[in-house]
Amino acid sequence: MSDTHTTSGGKTSVWTKHQVFEKNSIFLLIGILVMISIGGLVEIVPLFYLKSTIEKVEGVRPLTPLELAGRNIYVREGCYNCHSQMIRPLRDEVERYGHYSLAAESMYDHPFQWGSKRTGPDIARVGGKYSDDWHRDHLRNPRSVVPASIMPSYPWLETTALDTSHIDMDMRVLAIEGVPYTKEMIESAASDVKTQGAAEDSLTAPFLKRYPKAITRESGGVQGRLTEADALIAYLQQLGTQVDFKLYDDKANIR
Amino acid sequence: MEQKTSAPSGHANGSADPSAPAQSGVGTTGHSWDGIEELNNPLPRWWLWTFYACIVWAVGYWFVYPAIPLVSSYTKGFLGWQSRAQIEVDMAELKAMRSGMTTKIEATELADIEKNPELLSFARAQGSAAFAVNCAPCHGAGAQGFKGYPNLNDDDWIWGGKAEDILTTIKHGVRWEQDSNTRSGVMPSFGRDGILNRKEIATVADYVLSLSGLAVDKGADLAAGKTLYAANCAACHGDAGAGNQEMGAPNLSDKVWLYGSDKAAIMERITLGGGGVMPAWSNRLDAATMKSLAVYVHTLGGGK
């Protein structure tokens, strides 16, 4: 090997040409960028055009404005640092958490909240697993219901009024990214927040037409206003519940 | 410095013949930075061959497993292996492994499961595992409960403590609106909705305390409390406060208190009303698991 690296005697080989990269940091940098881009292109781009990436499923709908506001709080508080939302197709995970996650279930998530670390449990299917009251108690002080928990307390969520002044703008941005929010959905965002959070019966029917099977609830809030905890709980309670796995055909989506 | 000057063949100026052995007896690569040169030691053979073997292994992977994206599909690999097909196989294996016992559990009445030592031991093991994952976050790892979440070890049952009652509660939940067969029964918000004023709530709370023999404030008007109780509470909780499991109205004459036994806690419950919520599990757990859970909870100690 030693002779291929030498510069003596005017010998040129592939190895000597490589010296251009070794001796010029800017070429090395460009070379590295090119190589990494190829890796990225080959691994990521096909996911955009291969039709089999996202399963065809029924029931997956965009988040309601209240759930979306809750999702924003989920991201803001960094919940994804400790909780994944990705049940892998492995026996122990399916046994503990339920059906493995489908790509379709997070197709409207921008950015997705799959996470990569489980300090706490996976919460891809936490929706409907506990009561709203439990979430309230647990967010206020996790130790009050799970004595061994190391999760931080989030007591301010239930005392902070929910800011929904920009939720329609969030929806507009998501619509640009491909989430099927209609003009009607965006325009009625503010009232939909109230409808879902206060279970106002007169407005529930059109709301449920926009967001089928969404759960309306009397959230209480603070002095008649919805709180951040109300929004976060609305978000958590729909996680993993949109696809009915009694109807879903696993065999059709083996690929 | 000492080394450099004493080195043979003029290494100090960096223009040495790379093939000439330095002090180490190994040639250099010819690279020289500020007079520091790089010995051209060959890579250890074991390392090099391991490296080549890894490359060959990786190429093998491309052919054996799904690997390369194409225009409308991707290479599927000789084995035709799919993670989603594999999990189907794994879960089917698991089901088959358990089916000997789970089919028996499914086919046997709860009371008979408890009479059969083999079935009981399996049901308790399965129930215990399912309890840890699904129930412990509310009811506690030892089923001891928390404020607002009932203790399942004692013999005080809100919705009934027979194994069948427990199974119904597990299947359909409590005040779980998404399940049409859920256990329902909501206490009115006597304070918030203005049915009773604060003084009346305090008076009736004193009477409720007296029902289970707890200490009552001096000068409490128990007679007035009794009248208020009869008018507002007795329909569900019973004249003597024995409760009604049909409606989930807790027994007020015993010493077990879900939200606390001090006067303030009782006044809070009368003011707010409502009641605890438990999810329905029939969409999440299979029939055998729910039966095992019912047996597990029933045999914790307080089952009727």
pLDDT at A124: 96
A55 within some domain: no
Same domain membership, residue A164 and residue A100:
yes
Q: B136: domain CATH number?
A: 1.10.760.10
Same domain membership, residue B137 and residue B103:
yes
Same domain membership, residue A199 and residue A78:
yes
CB contact under 8 A, B29 and A2: yes
Same domain membership, residue A106 and residue A23:
no
B177 within some domain: no
B180 within some domain: no
> What are φ and ψ of residue A69, in 5° steps?
-60, -40
CB contact under 8 A, A254 and B27: no
B136 within some domain: yes
A60 within some domain: no
A88 within some domain: yes
Same domain membership, residue B215 and residue B94:
no
The predicted complex's ipTM stands at 0.83
Closest-CA residue of chain B to A99: B284
Q: Tokens standing for A207?
A: 């709301």
Same domain membership, residue A186 and residue A103:
yes
pLDDT tens for each residue of chain A, 255 residues long: 444 444 444 456 777 788 888 889 999 999 999 999 998 888 888 888 888 888 888 899 999 999 999 999 999 999 999 999 999 999 999 999 999 999 999 999 999 999 999 999 999 999 999 999 999 999 999 999 999 999 999 999 999 999 989 999 999 999 999 999 999 999 999 989 988 888 766 788 889 999 998 988 877 666 678 999 999 999 999 999 999 888 888 777 776
Structurally, chain A folds into a number of domains equal to: 2
Considering only CB atoms, which chain B residues are within 8 Å of A5? 29-30, 40
Same domain membership, residue B268 and residue B285:
no
Same domain membership, residue A114 and residue A44:
no
Same domain membership, residue B7 and residue B144:
no
Same domain membership, residue B268 and residue B195:
yes
Q: What is the pLDDT of residues B262-301, one digit of tens each?
A: 999 999 999 999 899 999 999 899 999 999 999 999 999 8
A176 within some domain: yes
Same domain membership, residue A148 and residue A77:
yes
Domain span at residue A173? 65-253
Q: Can you tell me which residue has the tokens 């409760």?
A: B243
CB contact under 8 A, A50 and B94: no
Taking Cα atoms as reference points, which of A207, A205, A203 lies closest to residue A184?
Answer: A207
Query: Considering only CB atoms, which residues of chain A are within 8 Å of chain B?
Result: 1-2, 5-8, 42, 45-46, 50-52, 89-91, 94-96, 98, 100, 128-134, 137-138, 144-148, 215, 246, 250-251, 253-255
Same domain membership, residue A128 and residue A196:
yes
Structurally, chain B folds into a number of domains equal to: 4
pLDDT at B58: 93
Burial B65-74 (b: 16+ CB within 10 A, else e): ebeebeeeee
Same domain membership, residue B146 and residue B289:
yes
Instruction: Count residue pairs from A and B with Cβ separation < 8 A.
Output: 100
Considering only CB atoms, A132 lies closest to which of B83, B148, B277, namely B277
Domain span at residue B164? 85-169+280-298
B27 within some domain: yes
Same domain membership, residue A85 and residue A39:
no
- DSSP state string for chain A: -HHHH--GGG---HHHHTHHHHH-HHHHHHHHHHHHHHHHHHHHHHHHH-TTSS---S---PPPHHHHHHHHHHHHTTGGGT------S-HHHHHHH-SPPPGGGGTT-SS----S--SS---TT-TTTS-HHHHHHHHH-GGGT-TT--PPP-GGGGTSBP--TTHHHHHHHHHHTT----HHHHHTHHHHHHHHHHT-HHHHHHHHHHSTTPPP-----BTTB-BHHHHHHHHHHHTT-SS-TTT--TGGG--
